[in-house]
Structure formats: C-alpha cells, structure tokens
Amino acid sequence: MGKKDASSVKLAVDQYRKQIRLQETKPALRATRLKAEAKRSAPGIRVRCVTINIAHTVLNLHNLLGRLGCGHDISNNT
C-alpha cells in the first residue's frame, strides 16, 4: 500500500466520521436515525418472530416424532 492509497483510505474514514457526527448533531438526521432504530426494535416484530419460531419448532417435532413412529396412526382401527 503506497502513500497515495493510505491517504485515500484516511479521507474516506474522515468522510464517514463526518457523516456520523452530522447524524448526531443535526436534529432532522438524528430524528430519522432514531425513528429507524425504533422501527427495527418494535415489540410487535419480536413477538411475531418468536411466535413463528415456536410454531416452526412444534411442526418440526411433530414431523420428527412421526418419522420415528412415536405418533398416532389414525389409519389403524385396532
């Protein structure tokens, strides 16, 4: 890595830091960032994900037990 390459990397890092600083200081940018973070961590999304994971686990267990022969065989009338 030559000197020219190192200076361009430093310039990109400085621009990134400047953008982050702007997001922290300008009210409009900060509000947008906080709104996006709140949307991502909304409780409704987490509840849906947990519910889907539980349903998926139950179906997988049902399928596994059926393959092992532990399930009920409704076709056998004895």
Q: What is the pLDDT of residues 49-71, one digit of tens each?
A: 888 999 999 999 888 888 887 65
Structure tokens, 19 = 């953008």
In angstroms, the CA 22 to CA 36 distance is 16
The pTM of the full predicted model, rounded to 2 decimals, is 0.36
Cβ-based burial of 74 (10 A; exposed 0-12, middle 13-18, buried ≥19): exposed
Structure tokens, 69 = 């022969």
Q: Is the CB of residue 38 less than 8 Å from the CB of residue 44?
A: no
pLDDT of 58: 92
For 18-51, the pLDDT digits (tens) are: 888 877 777 777 788 788 887 777 777 777 888 8
In angstroms, the CA 8 to CA 16 distance is 12
